[in-house]
Amino acid sequence: MCLFFLLKIGCEWCNLSVMDEKKILVLRLSAVGDVIRTLPAVKAIRKNFPSASITWILEEPSKTLIESQPEIDEVILFPRRRWSEGIKSPRDWWRTIGEMRNFIQFLRRRRFDVALDFHGILKSGLLTFFSGSPRRVGFDRRSSKEGNFLFSNIKVNLPGERISRFEENFSLLRGMGLELQPEGYPLVIPEEDGRYVNSFFNGLSPPLQHPSIAIHPGTSLKTPYKRWFPDRYALLADRLVAELKATVLFTWGPGELDSVKSIRRRMRESSVLGPHTFSLTQLGEVYRHCDLYIGGDTGPMHIASLMGVPVVVIYGPTDPVVNRPFGPHKKVIKDVGCNPCRERFCKELKCLTNITVEDVFKATREALEEKEDRPLLKC
């Protein structure tokens, strides 16, 4: 009933006249890693339409990151959690419906000329439709979910073979008449974030030595199945210090500090605990000071990649093609017959168990040699 009510509002205001790209609406609501992987394509839009106004609708976790990027003129917060709770409550139902209606009216008053739906699910499709944009660009039926394709009037089909999310997002730009290949569009670091991180590195004693290697062992609380094992990270870090004379710096996010401290306690060699970062741009600035990044298939990995830092990615059940980073990288993956998969509650995790310290050390060594264009001698 609620969906019918909102669709009725959208239909009353629908306008399909074709206009130039003056006001552009971008939809990629979540998750943080996927928002990060959409950013280069949006930066490419700015490069090709320098005078356009670009507005991005997203959920809270990515808001600060996108607001910090100069290519984005405006960020609109989509209050998914509050609305989800409100629509289930008899007491808050009508208030939530009123908020939704006001939100739709707010979008339509903006008179967007084109809306690009990078998310490809029901809620992003509805928002695209309700925006009233005459040109609504989305993926075709095969490449979207939950009937999303019904809400776009310009449908972009993807190649039959698997491609990375970065390539998928650049493919959507064909709906605007842009035939572009992914290229370097680095994160812009606000000055205050640069000063904060630089003060940390300036205060290190002894200072960072080369090669400097950032390790991010954590994953989000929802994705423990992507997480390699703490004891192996400790053994790996010891070898990097002892054999490559590297400085190992551990980074961490919300809820991960205790785990990182536990890894450091297991080590025989010394390491550096990274600073408490309050934004993804601060985290990106930390990685900019390093020669290499090691970690799982996570948002921080993509942040490091967008900063131009070579990455070594430890893949478990996730797809190494779809989740490929943006820049130079080495993938560490073992084919165990059932991966890639989407089994979030797997108890065996053979795909991660079979990845040894030697596997990751070898990939790290190769990545550093390619970066330096010279072999690294064992000490």
Spans of all domains in the chain: 2-176, 206-372
Give the CB-side neighbour count of residue 95, counting CA atoms within 13 A.
10
- Whether the model clears a pTM of 0.85, i.e. scores above it, the answer is yes
pLDDT at 114: 96
Residue 21 has a pLDDT of 65
Please give the pLDDT value at position 7: 40
Q: What's the pLDDT at 377?
A: 40
> What pLDDT was estimated at residue 342?
85
C-alpha span between 223 and 328 (Å, rounded): 24
The matching CATH number, chosen from 3.40.50.2000, 1.20.59.20, 3.30.310.50, 3.40.50.150, for 2-176 is: 3.40.50.2000
Q: How many CA atoms lie within 13 A of 236 on its CB side?
A: 30
- Tell me the per-residue pLDDT of 211-261, one tens digit each, with 9 for 90 and over: 999 999 999 888 999 999 999 999 999 999 999 999 999 999 999 999 999
Whether 2-176 shares its CATH topology with 206-372 is answered yes
Q: Residues of the chain whose pLDDT is less than 50?
A: 1-20, 374-379
Domain topology for 206-372: Rossmann fold (3.40.50)
